[in-house]
Amino acid sequence: MELIDVLTMLGIAMAGLALVLAFVVLVNFARHALKGVPHMVRRSIPKLPEVKRAKQIKKEKPKMSKEKGEGVTFNDIFMFMIAVPLVLLWVGFAGFVIHSGLNKPEVLANIEAYTTLIAILGGPALLIIKDALDVWKQEQAEKTAFYKTKAQAVIDYNDSTQKQSQMMESKAQEQEHKMESKK
């Protein structure tokens, strides 16, 4: 099997993956778009009447980002349809060229053309990877800041609790001394 055949199959596989991702995005978009459509257009199961209970208390769970109304953004579509396949193609092709270059002398004869193609794919792929790492670093910095704030809050709470308990003991001792002096 020649290298060009493998590259063609890899291209077809990536195109198929892009079609599947596009289908998933369209289905998700259609689901969100049909949320407000009346029941005559969209078939749904009628809701049963709710039973009211006097002592039942509902706890509100914290809303996650998907519940806040954030939909699929252009950046999400871009990352899944262009960026991810490009990075995977770049890494896969580079690995394939290295593996083929070690086993087939005809690949070594055309190594300049292959390295040029790897470089062309590598430029945008490296920018995408760099941006992903920057986002990851930012998330880690936010986590670190959160944990520092949380640790400081725990320290402050423990300090105030200790001061309060010392004050209560002091007041109890003062009260005890007052009671003894009155006798």
Distances (CA, A) of 170 to 63, 174, 179: 45, 6, 14
Question: What angle is formed at CA 63 by the lines to CA 60 and CA 67, rounded to 5 degrees?
Answer: 125
User: Angle of helix 84-103 relative to helix 111-182, nearest 10 degrees?
Assistant: 130
Is residue 25 exposed (0-12), middle (13-18) or buried (19+ Cβ within 10 Å)?
middle
Name residues whose C-beta falls within 8 Å of residue 72's C-beta, 6 or more positions apart in sequence.
25, 28, 29, 32
Q: How far is CA 121 from CA 86, 115, 167, in A?
A: 7, 10, 69
What span, in angstroms and rounded, lies between the C-alpha atoms of 90 and 120? Answer: 9
pLDDT recorded at residue 43: 54
| pLDDT values of the chain reduced to their tens digit, one per residue, 183 residues | 677 777 777 777 777 777 777 787 777 777 777 776 555 444 555 565 665 555 555 555 555 444 455 577 776 777 777 778 888 888 888 888 888 888 888 888 888 888 888 888 888 888 888 888 888 888 889 999 999 999 999 999 999 999 999 999 999 999 999 888 887
pLDDT value at position 136? Answer: 83
* Domain boundary assignment for the chain: 3-36+72-182
> Measured between alpha carbons, how far is 162 from 28 in angstroms, rounded to an integer?
54
User: DSSP code of 55?
Assistant: S
Give the Cα separation of 181 and 183 in Å (integer): 5
Residue 86 has phi, psi (to 5 degrees) of -65, -45
Q: What is the structure's pLDDT at 52? A: 58
Lookup: tokens for 91: 């890494």
Q: Determine whether 13 is exposed, middle or buried from the number of CB atoms within 10 Å of its CB (0-12, 13-18, 19+).
A: middle
Reduced to 3 states (helix: H, G, I; strand: E, B; else coil), residue 42 is coil
